[in-house]
């Protein structure tokens, strides 16, 4: 349903206007540079897939989503959504996709969500039967029946985001793009959104592409993850495969009686920020016996506490960025 081929997008950045030396050298003209937000990215997404796109701030997630949905035009490369170029056939493409940006709302501050839904009904030319059916269904699933008749300014962040998702679903799109849909929302609100997306995928076979800094969103909803770093894909595959690569990886946190240096072979050793006597030890349980490692530590150093745990999905993502791979 989605085909992205060699897509790149860069933005113009202004030079430092406060650098007097550079201003003089360049005749008091600001020198611009370019920042490549997305670099030669390619991937395909099939119908019914739920794909998570993750990355640090500035990794290119939002730029990629905007390029795929037609909001931005890539500098190079091609994008096809349902066989249509979203840049050349914007109206036709938009009629079959839903888009939610967690930091940019479609809802009008002074109107009620219900009033906005009726505006969207006219824009998308949704017939009465489908409109009423979708409205009833999504307000029940997202539990906002009592909210949609109140002005947007009276709603909580979680209520607004759930009402926002309904805006993107009223016209029954075949693809739903979500950029940080749970940002700033409490645990209960996040759970309602996750459950709604999973139900939608199962019942309607809707394709979902989601970006999020909350790894719980990605782990619970998605089967596949695309990891971006500095505008490039560093991983594209199933979450289970990613986890299996780290299946034998463990983290041992030790607390020493005193702040002292530790020397160990075949492990990655890190200090814990704010805890001068604590250390994190990354090791592979297939290569290093955990009991023997603990024994060596106890015999060589004065240990106050030891805790061994498996690496979480969130930690796996962090490690891929930092290079802490044993």
Per residue in 111-138, pLDDT (tens digit) is 999 999 999 999 999 999 999 999 999 9
| pTM for the model | 0.79
Q: Does residue 60 contact residue 228 with C-beta atoms inside 8 Å?
A: yes
Q: Domains in the chain and their CATH numbers? A: 47-74+83-243 (3.40.50.300), 247-310 (3.30.70)
Model confidence pLDDT, tens digit, residues 155-211: 988 889 999 999 999 999 999 999 988 888 888 888 888 998 999 899 999 999 999
Burial class (CB in 10 A: 0-12, 13-18, 19+), 33: exposed
Distance, CA of 63 to CA of 100 (rounded, Å): 14
Closest by Cα among 286, 253, 291, 290 to 272 = 253
How far apart, in Å, are the Cα atoms of 254 and each of 248, 275, 310?
A: 19, 11, 15
pLDDT score of 65: 92
pLDDT score of 14: 66
Distance, CA of 73 to CA of 79 (rounded, Å): 10
């Amino acid at each position: 349903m989605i085909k992205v081929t060699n897509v790149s997008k860069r933005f113009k950045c202004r030079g430092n206007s406060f650098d007097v030396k550079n201003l003089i050298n360049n005749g008091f003209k600001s020198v611009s540079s370019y920042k490549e937000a997305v670099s030669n990215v390619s991937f395909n997404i099939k119908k019914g897939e739920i794909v998570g796109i993750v990355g640090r701030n500035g990794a290119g997630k939002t730029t990629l989503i905007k390029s795929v949905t037609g909001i931005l035009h890539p500098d190079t490369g091609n994008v096809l959504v349902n066989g249509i170029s979203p840049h050349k056939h914007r109206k036709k493409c938009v009629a079959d996709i839903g888009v939610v940006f967690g930091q940019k709302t479609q809802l009008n501050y002074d109107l009620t969500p219900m009033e906005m839904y009726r505006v969207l009904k006219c824009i998308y030319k949704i017939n009465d039967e489908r409109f009423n059916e979708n409205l009833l269904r999504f307000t029940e699933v997202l539990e906002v029946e009592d909210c949609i008749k109140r002005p947007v300014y009276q709603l909580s962040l979680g209520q607004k985001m759930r009402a926002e998702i309904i805006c993107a679903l009223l016209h029954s799109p075949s693809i739903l793009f979500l950029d940080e849909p749970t940002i700033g929302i409490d645990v209960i609100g996040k759970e309602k959104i996750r459950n709604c997306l999973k139900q939608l995928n199962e019942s309607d076979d809707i394709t979902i592409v989601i970006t999020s800094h909350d790894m719980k969103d990605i782990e619970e909803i998605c089967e596949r993850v695309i990891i971006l770093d500095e505008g490039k894909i560093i991983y594209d595959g199933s979450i289970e495969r990613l986890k299996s690569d780290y299946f034998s990886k463990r983290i041992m946190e030790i607390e020493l009686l005193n702040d002292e240096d530790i020397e160990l072979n075949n492990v990655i050793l890190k200090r814990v920020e704010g805890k001068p006597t604590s250390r994190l030890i990354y090791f592979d349980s297939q290569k290093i016996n955990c009991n023997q490692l603990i024994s060596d530590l106890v015999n060589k150093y004065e240990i106050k506490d030891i805790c061994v745990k498996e690496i979480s999905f969130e930690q796996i993502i962090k490690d891929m960025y930092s290079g802490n791979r044993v």
